[in-house]
């Protein structure tokens, strides 16, 4: 007796399920579909703010906002699928908070590089990251940078992001007398941000998954209810075209080589690479330790994980967004039971679904996203506690790195100043032999940066 069509479909579904469970090794990782789906949904809720925050930040560089919405989601989908199938890690990937601010405010506005050309620097950084991962030079470069300067860079980026959040919210405004001063907290738009910050902090203190996302939702609802934010024309629509951004990085190399092959662009690409190095490493180590993917203090399948992350930067630059990275919010999915690469598949599917909600961009204003910037900045600044402040030769370059970023509105300036001062303080201490030759080369490069480009 021949099987019915429903029986055939059921057998095919079971065969697919068997393949998935084998590929991701559910049994060995002690997981199942329920845990993986819950982990994926939790991770998405925790990081989904990026689909609205990233277009807001990058649009300050003159890039089209609706196209950025699609590019952000599409780059996240590609990155998540790479992490799922190349590394099989429960890690989601999306455009990096911090590097998107560096792209808009330091590279485009600060250095005067057009956003089309700035995308080339992202592409160069991504290709370099892939090559360094493949030929296994990445670890040597990481080891050359003192741990305290890595922590200082992360903290400085956090303060820079928070500063942008305060500015967007109207918490701080320009002052001829003191450069900046406290803004008017009673204006409706600034008051909306105050509400958003209070609500988001409350949700985080109650350990609500997706606190930042839900904080933005509640803030937007209040904004609409009080007419501070206009009612959107629609909630669901067709996916905005990514054509204004797609492939711009590649075409720019061919059409404007005089803008591409410059020292300025090299510096921008290096900073992207520098920050990405430490961000990715720290994030993957943190998530892997929680997911049981560490063995002898080493990442299990660490090479494929780094390759997936670095490849996603290349893909993101072609799509048309700032560098992508592994999101620390993936720890929420791991805490919810996710253990394998099926988690980022779920996240990717939800990002695809999110592409149909572009009309909500009109609702998620800079005042709505400001609390996310402030809170993410605060979380990044927590690495200040890990810096060895008792050693003056370390404290000086670390402090200069941290303080320079927000005060000069430039991540590049902060990293550059720290890398210049570290060899100097070590020399004055008679410990120059402890300085890696790579640090010596960076010292020369950034001296030239300050001499000719600032």
The whole-number pLDDT of residue 52 equals 95
What does pTM read for this prediction?
0.86
Q: Which residues of 366-395 are buried (b: 16+ CB within 10 A; e: fewer)?
A: bbbbbbbbbbbbebbbebbeebeeeeebbb
Q: How many domains does the chain have?
A: 1
Q: Residue 309 belongs to what domain range?
A: 30-383
- C-alpha to C-alpha distance for 263 and 451, rounded to whole angstroms: 12
- Decide if 439 is inside a domain: no
- Decide if 101 is inside a domain: yes
- Decide if 409 is inside a domain: no
What is the C-alpha R_g of the chain?
22
DSSP 388-406: -TT-HHHHHHHHHHHHHHH
- Decide if 176 is inside a domain: yes
pLDDT tens digits, 127-141? 999 999 888 787 677
DSSP 8-state secondary structure symbol assigned to residue 93:
E
- Decide if 417 is inside a domain: no
Contact 305, 89 (CB under 8 A): yes
The whole-number pLDDT of residue 278 equals 75
The whole-number pLDDT of residue 209 equals 82
pLDDT by residue for the chain (454 residues), tens only, comes to 455 555 555 545 554 567 888 899 998 889 999 999 999 999 999 999 999 999 999 999 999 999 999 999 999 999 999 999 999 999 999 999 989 999 999 999 999 999 999 999 999 999 999 999 888 787 677 778 888 998 898 899 889 999 999 999 999 999 999 999 999 999 999 999 999 999 999 999 998 888 999 999 999 999 999 999 999 989 999 999 999 999 999 999 999 888 888 988 999 999 999 888 778 877 887 788 778 887 776 778 888 999 999 999 999 999 999 999 999 899 889 988 999 999 999 999 999 999 999 999 999 999 999 999 999 999 889 889 999 999 999 999 999 999 999 999 888 899 999 999 999 999 999 998 889 998 998 899 889 888 876 5
Q: Which residues of 244-260 are buried (b: 16+ CB within 10 A; e: fewer)?
A: ebbebbeebeeeeeebb
The whole-number pLDDT of residue 283 equals 83
Which residue from 125, 109, 119, 108 is spatially nearest to 248, judged by alpha carbons? 119
The whole-number pLDDT of residue 303 equals 86
List the structure tokens of 175: 């002052």
- Decide if 43 is inside a domain: yes
- Decide if 391 is inside a domain: no
- Decide if 441 is inside a domain: no
Contact 43, 329 (CB under 8 A): yes
215-221-226-231 Cα dihedral, nearest 10 degrees = 140
The whole-number pLDDT of residue 88 equals 94
Specify the DSSP element, H or E, that contains 225: helix 211-225
The whole-number pLDDT of residue 145 equals 84
Which residue from 440, 413, 402 is spatially nearest to 155, judged by alpha carbons? 402
The pair phi, psi for residue 181, each rounded to 5°, is: -150, 170
């Amino acid at each position: 007796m021949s099987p019915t069509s429903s029986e055939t479909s059921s057998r095919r579904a079971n065969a697919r399920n068997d393949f998935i469970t084998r590929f991701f090794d559910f049994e060995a990782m002690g997981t199942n579909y329920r845990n993986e789906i819950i982990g994926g949904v939790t991770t998405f809720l925790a990081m989904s703010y990026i689909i609205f925050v990233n277009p807001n930040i990058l649009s300050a560089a003159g890039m089209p906002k609706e196209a950025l919405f699609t590019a952000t989601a599409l780059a996240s989908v590609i990155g998540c699928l790479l992490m799922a199938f190349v590394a099989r890690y429960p890690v989601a990937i999306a455009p990096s908070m911090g590097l998107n601010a560096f792209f808009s405010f330091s590279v485009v506005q600060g250095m005067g590089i057009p956003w089309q050309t700035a995308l080339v620097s992202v592409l160069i950084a991504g290709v370099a990251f892939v090559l360094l991962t493949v030929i296994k030079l990445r670890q040597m470069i990481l080891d050359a940078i003192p741990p305290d300067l890595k922590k200082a860079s992360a903290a400085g980026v956090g303060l820079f992001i928070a500063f942008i959040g305060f500015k967007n919210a109207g918490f701080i405004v320009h002052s001829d007398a003191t450069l900046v001063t406290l803004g008017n907290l009673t204006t409706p738009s600034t008051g909306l941000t105050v509400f958003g910050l209070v609500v988001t902090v409350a949700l985080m203190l109650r350990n609500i998954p997706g606190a930042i996302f839900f904080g933005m939702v509640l803030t937007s609802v209040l904004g609409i209810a009080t007419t501070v934010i206009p009612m959107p024309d629609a909630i669901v629509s067709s996916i905005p075209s990514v054509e204004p951004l797609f492939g711009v990085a590649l075409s720019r190399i061919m059409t404007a080589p005089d803008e591409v092959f410059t020292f300025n662009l090299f510096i921008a690409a290096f900073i992207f690479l520098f920050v990405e190095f430490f961000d990715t490493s720290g994030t993957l180590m943190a998530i892997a330790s929680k997911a049981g993917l560490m063995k002898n203090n080493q990442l299990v399948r660490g090479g494929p994980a780094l390759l997936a992350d670095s490849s996603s930067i290349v893909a993101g630059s072609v799509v048309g967004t700032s560098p992508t990275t592994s999101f620390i919010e993936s720890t929420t999915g791991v805490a919810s039971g996710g253990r394998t690469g099926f988690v980022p598949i779920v996240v990717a599917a939800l990002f695809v679904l999110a592409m149909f909600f572009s009309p909500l961009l009109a609702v998620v204003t800079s005042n709505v996203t400001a609390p996310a910037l402030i809170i993410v900045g605060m979380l990044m600044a927590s690495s200040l506690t890990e810096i060895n402040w008792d050693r003056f030769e370390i404290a000086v370059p670390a402090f200069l790195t941290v303080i320079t970023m927000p005060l000069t509105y430039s991540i590049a300036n902060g990293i550059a100043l720290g890398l210049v001062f570290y060899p100097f303080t070590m020399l004055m201490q008679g410990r120059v032999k402890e300085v890696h030759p790579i640090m010596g080369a960076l010292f020369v490069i950034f001296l030239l940066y300050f001499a000719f480009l600032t």
